[in-house]
Amino acid sequence: MNSFEYIEVCVRLSPFTEEMAEILTAELSELPFESFVTENPFLKCYIPKEAYRPADVKVVLSGYPAAASFTAALVQGENWNRAWEQDFRPIVVDGKVTVKAKFNADVPRTRFNIWIDPQMAFGTGYHHTTYMMMQRMLGLEECIRGHSVVDMGCGTAILAILAAKMGARKVFAVDIDAVAARSAWATAAGTRWAPAWKLPAETPPCCRWAPTTCSWPTSTATSSCRTSPPTAAPSERAATCS
């Protein structure tokens, strides 16, 4: 979802039990509510404004007599990254990669330096999956150099940019979230390859960066780890680094 505005649905449980709160959490997560807070006697549920359907909530709650009533209120959105970035500290990965914000000063340079403008997108380096992915990529430099890299669910695109700095011949940074796509563009704008970034008109929010051509693909994704059989033809090989 791309909205910064959420609806808070407050369900009053009578009688209140942790078990019933857990059951309703499971049911309402299918609508899809994204987060929940239990505060006796209430279950507070949060969903992006554009996804909220009161009738759907009523249908779910009608099957549970304990869900006596509910109210809904708009929660004004806030760019939490903007509030957080004032305290953003550079991240150094294995002494070889530095991820920093543009306002960070007096930061020692490492072999690979990436400046980010995270906005609301995932991928600042603080999350374990992003950090470990960069560690893994550093151990696969020969796999990346001269090949093509696909960063699926790129967020800020720091993995795509790291791949480029490591010598990838072509990099695709893809995300279905418009906020992430904008963040990826902002991050890429600070690199020497910025003029080569392209946005295909036929594709929803997707950043394509293609400075040169490639022979066979190497892909990165934070949610998978897969390598094709070594017997595959060069044009069919794909390695996923995670």
CATH match of 6-75 with 1.10.3720.10: no
Q: Answer positive or negative: Cα dihedral of 134, 138, 144, 145.
A: positive
Burial state string for 181-220 with b = 16 or more CB within 10 A and e = fewer than 16:
bbbbbbbbeebeeeebbeeeeeeebbbebeeeeeeebbbb
Task: Name the range with the highest mean pLDDT among 98-112, 134-148, 213-227.
Answer: 134-148
The residues spanned by each domain of the chain are 6-75, 82-241
CA distance 175 to 214: 22
CATH architecture of 82-241: 3-Layer(aba) Sandwich (3.40)
Predicted local confidence at residue 95, as pLDDT: 93
| Per-residue pLDDT tens digits for 16-61 | 999 999 999 999 988 888 888 899 999 999 998 999 999 999 999 9
Residue 68 above 80 pLDDT?
no
Residue 103 above 80 pLDDT?
no
CA distance 29 to 21: 12
pLDDT level of residue 199 (50, 70, 90 thresholds)? low
Q: Do domains 6-75 and 82-241 have the same CATH topology?
A: no
Predicted local confidence at residue 118, as pLDDT: 56
Predicted local confidence at residue 17, as pLDDT: 92
Predicted local confidence at residue 4, as pLDDT: 64
Residues 6+ positions from 231 with CB-CB distance below 8 Å: none
Calculate mean pLDDT across residues 174-199.
Answer: 73
Q: Which amino acid is at 99?
A: V
Predicted local confidence at residue 219, as pLDDT: 41
CA distance 224 to 64: 38
